[in-house]
Amino acid sequence: MSDPSAPASTPTGYYGLPQLKGPVWTWEVPAYFFVGGTAGAAAVVGAVARAAGAPSSLVTHARWIAVAGAAASPPLLISDLGRPERFLNMLRVVKLQSPMSVGTWTMVTFSTAAAAAAFADLVSRGRGPSTPVRTIGNAAEIVSAASGLVLATYTGVLIGATAIPVWSRNVGLLPVHFGASGLGAAVSLLELFGHRSRALSKIAIGAAAVETAIGLRLETQREPALEPLRTGRSGNVTRAGELLSGPVPLALRLLGRGSSNARQLAAVATLIGSVLTRVGWIEAGRESAARTTSSLP
């Protein structure tokens, strides 16, 4: 992934350089945030579902959502970096103090484990139950779930660990926000694949409730640094993401209990809201950096 900061347009620092840098990420980064978060959460759901004795079809679909996201994530990062060798260079060392380094290695670990779990599932289905294959698949599933949990939340840490005010002020909130958003998206995909279990419904309601609470907190904080979350283009996108991830699906699920149509609408709203959430926070970061730079002496 490219550096989240780049020179802003107003030169106010030494040698004509800005005192605060704004993000230059293109569309690939919010797409990666969404795809990686959804895939990571799906791996967690799949592992929990298998342990709880859920239908094998649910576990299989969760595994394949995870592996699809794992397959899409590296190309998105490489596209943002511009050259494949830049991605490979990030794998030369491990920097535990760097969210970007930890995130890159987490993605590699997750991609490998998710692929192994899905492949084992495919082999078991084609040739009948096999203890060694099943054991390998279940072990890979545990690794993919553990790394998937990190993958679903680390992007919030990544953008929070910067000097951009709107991000740094929410460094503790963003991992929870992105994690709940990814969980809601993963469950929504499973529901759109036809799974209608009560457990999935409860998880989706919980994720929407968390997103609603986060949206209310952001709306009630009147700190000037958080204005990009409420005003302008970035505010419109962020608020749309908040509504479609939280209150809208929560209301549909609670008021439309027993309605398949309401559940499907809630799932679609959650997926759209999850995408807009990532886009909105990136846009808010750009706006926050621009406002801060223009206000510096």
Classify each residue of 226-249 as buried b or exposed e, where b means 16 or more C-beta atoms within 10 Å of its C-beta.
bbbbbeeebbebbbbbbbbbbbbb
Check whether 205 has a pLDDT greater than 90.
Answer: yes
Q: Domain holding 242: CATH number?
A: 1.20.1630.10
Residue 61 lies in a domain: yes
Residue 3 lies in a domain: no
Residue 7 lies in a domain: no
Tell me, what's the pLDDT at 293? Answer: 62
Check whether 7 has a pLDDT greater than 50.
Answer: no
Show the domain range for 76.
14-295
Tell me, what's the pLDDT at 127? Answer: 58
Residue 8 lies in a domain: no
Q: Which of 35-39, 68-72, 79-83, 136-140 has the lowest mean pLDDT?
A: 79-83
6 forms bridges with which residues in the sheet?
22
Check whether 102 has a pLDDT greater than 60.
Answer: yes
Residue 5 lies in a domain: no
Tell me, what's the pLDDT at 246? Answer: 96
How many structural domains compose the chain?
A: 1
Tell me, what's the pLDDT at 132? Answer: 78
Q: Quick: pLDDT tens for 243-286.
A: 999 999 999 999 988 889 999 999 999 999 999 999 999 999 99
Q: Which of 47-51, 195-199, 212-216, 289-293 has the lowest mean pLDDT?
A: 289-293
**What mean pLDDT is predicted for residues 208-237?**
93
Closest to 260 in 3D by CA, of 269, 248, 252: 252
Residue 1 lies in a domain: no
What is d(CA 77, CA 10) in angstroms, rounded to the nearest whole number? 28
Residue 240 lies in a domain: yes
Give the predicted TM-score (pTM) of the model. 0.86
- How would residue 84 be classed by pLDDT, with cut points 50, 70 and 90? low
Check whether 186 has a pLDDT greater than 60.
Answer: yes
Check whether 131 has a pLDDT greater than 80.
Answer: no
**To 5 degrees, how large is the angle CA 270–CA 274–CA 279?**
145
Residue 284: phi and psi, rounded to 5, are -65, -35
Average pLDDT over the chain reads: 85
Residue 9 lies in a domain: no
For residue 45, CA distances in Å to 40, 109, 208, 232, 244 come to 9, 18, 16, 36, 22
Percent of the chain clearing pLDDT 90 (strictly above): 55
Tell me, what's the pLDDT at 126? Answer: 57
Q: Quick: pLDDT tens for 215-226.
A: 999 999 888 889
